[in-house]
Amino acid sequence: MQIHIYKTPELAAKAAATLIAAAILAKNDAVIGLPTGSSPVAAYRELARMNKEGVIDFSRVTTFNLDEYIGLAGDHPQSYRHFMDENLFDHINIAKENTHVPSGIGDGAANARAYEEAIAAAGGIDLQFMGIGRNGHIGFNEPAAAFSDQTGVITLTPSTIEANARFFASAGEVPRAAISMGVGTIMRARRTLLIATGADKAGAVYGLVRGAITPSLPASALRLHPHCVVLLDEDAASRL
């Protein structure tokens, strides 16, 4: 695991965008796994800038998002599909049909199976970018008794519902479940990239880097990944 600690969150975001840009420069039809949340937003802005300047071309890139809320259609303002359009896809020259976000509507088990099949059909994920939840979740893989393998439907924990309530009018409106790539799906990506900034991530980052490899801190699985880069700002790294 390569760990880089930056003075500011902006520098960590710039490093993340640089690694994603490098993956696209190395392989113009790269398959990139993407997260939502506040952590990747500045990196997305930087990628859009590089695309506009002509440094990177997304026209042959395929993306797979980590997760989506159950019950929210893609046009719901809090859906992760909507988030991705607003924060990245509408600002780059990607073909919308090459962008994949799991469906939160309909038969969850069938949607999850179809998502795994689509990732396999695309040749697997070259680079999986992600944030980390305050409880150490990746995607929406919450602390559990065992690491999840494939994409599936997950019941959100009260702490995640509370953490994500800031995006909704009230905690009562936060969906209680999500469809998420499994920890196994993430681990099968050829390269992985995690960004964490801010003091509220310091505990999860400590667990990720120094704690036991345990499904009670799902991100800790990344310590077993052969190509994992972790980008931190000083606040997120403050307990290391």
3-class SS string, 78-110: CCHHHHHHHHCHHHCCCCHHHEECCCCCCCHHH
Q: Is 93 labeled as catalytic in the residue annotation?
A: no
The span from the CA of 63 to the CA of 127, in Å, is: 10
**Cα gap 70→102, rounded to integer Å:** 10
Contact between 10 and 234 (Cβ < 8 Å):
no
| Of positions 51, 87, 148, 160, contacts ligand GLP by CB under 6 A | 160
Query: With binding defined as CB under 6 A, does residue 79 bind ligand GLP?
Result: no
Residue 152 as a binder of ligand GLP (CB under 6 A): the answer is no
Residue 37 makes contact with ligand GLP by CB under 6 A: yes
Q: Measured from the CB atom, is 50 or 66 closer to ligand GLP?
A: 66
Catalytic annotation, pick one of 142, 164, 225, 233:
142
| Residue from 51, 65, 87, 135 carrying the catalytic annotation | 135
How many C-beta atoms surround the C-beta of residue 184 within 10 A? 15
How many residues lie near ligand GLP (CB under 6 A)? 15
Nearest residue (CB) to ligand GLP, 160 versus 185: 160
Q: Given the rule CB under 6 A, which of 13-21, 101-109, 133-141, 217-225 is the region that contacts ligand GLP?
A: 133-141
Q: Is 67 in the site for ligand GLP (CB under 6 A)?
A: yes
Shortest spacing between CB 201 and ligand GLP, in angstroms: 7
d(CA 181, CA 153) in angstroms, rounded, equals: 9
Q: Which of 140, 142, 152, 181 binds ligand GLP (CB under 6 A)?
A: 140
Q: How far is the CB of 122 from ligand GLP (least distance, A)?
A: 20
Residues 6 or more apart whose CB falls under 8 angstroms from that of 125 comprise: 31, 32, 33, 64, 119, 185, 188, 189, 190
Rounded to 5°, angle at Cα 193 from 30 and 44: 70
Residues 13, 45: Cα–Cα separation, whole Å: 9
Distances from the Cα of 187 to the Cα of 24, 76, 119, 183, 184, angstroms: 20, 30, 13, 6, 5
Catalytic annotation, pick one of 46, 67, 68, 126 = 67
Catalytic residue among 137, 164, 225, 233: 137
- Assess whether 141 carries a catalytic annotation: no
Q: How far apart are alpha carbons 163 and 196 in whole angstroms? A: 15
- Is 91 known to be catalytic? no
Given 8, 38, 59, 155, the residue binding ligand GLP (CB under 6 A): 38
Binding site for ligand GLP (CB under 6 A): 35-39, 66-67, 130-133, 139-140, 160, 164
Q: Which residues are catalytic?
A: 67, 135, 137, 142
